[in-house]
Amino acid sequence: EGEESEDESQALEREVTAVIHEVGVPAHIKGYQYVREAIVIAVQDMDVINAVTKVLYPEVARRYSTTPSRHAIEVAWDRGDLETLQRYFGYTVSNTKGKPTNSEFIAMIADRIRLQRKIYRV
């Protein structure tokens, strides 16, 4: 399994960007790039979802020389389009259940993109 081509990598980044815009993550907030990067990494390797705090967050933080923030997810949840959020998160969108965790948010979007791209693990 070779490295993704630059075109493939850019296409993935465009897809992730489109989805997080659709869900309602504003591009100007601090955590926007972190969320996008985390989803891109998860699409490329879903195993990181099982090690969010040990693998995914440190990798995102390393790439941006910072610490990942939950802020982008909270803003997306507060400002996001309810219909779109329900399409992505289903039962997770309810007053009783509250916001998804970071890993739920990242995993659900990454999984949806993987299915759209028909990337299946063997």
Q: For residue range 11-20, what is the model confidence (pLDDT) as tens digits?
A: 999 999 998 8
Name the range with the highest mean pLDDT among 34-43, 91-100, 113-122.
34-43
- Residue 122: which pLDDT band, with cuts at 50, 70 and 90? very low
Q: Is 40 helix (H, G, I), strand (E, B) or coil?
A: helix
Establish how many alpha carbons lie within 13 A of residue 46's alpha carbon, considering only the half-sphere containing its beta carbon. Answer: 14
- Residue 28: which pLDDT band, with cuts at 50, 70 and 90? confident
Q: For residue range 29-38, what is the model confidence (pLDDT) as tens digits?
A: 878 888 899 9
CA neighbor of 67 nearest in space, from 24, 46, 38, 45: 38
Q: For residue range 69-84, what is the model confidence (pLDDT) as tens digits?
A: 677 777 777 777 777 8
CA neighbor of 36 nearest in space, from 63, 3, 54: 63
Cβ partners under 8 Å of residue 40, min gap 6: 12, 13, 16
Q: Is the pLDDT of residue 1 over 50?
A: no
Q: For residue range 35-55, what is the model confidence (pLDDT) as tens digits?
A: 899 999 999 998 998 888 889
For residue 58, give the amino acid letter: P
Q: Rounded distance, CA 74 to CA 4, Å?
A: 31
Helix ranges (H only) for 57-101 are: 57-64, 71-79, 82-89
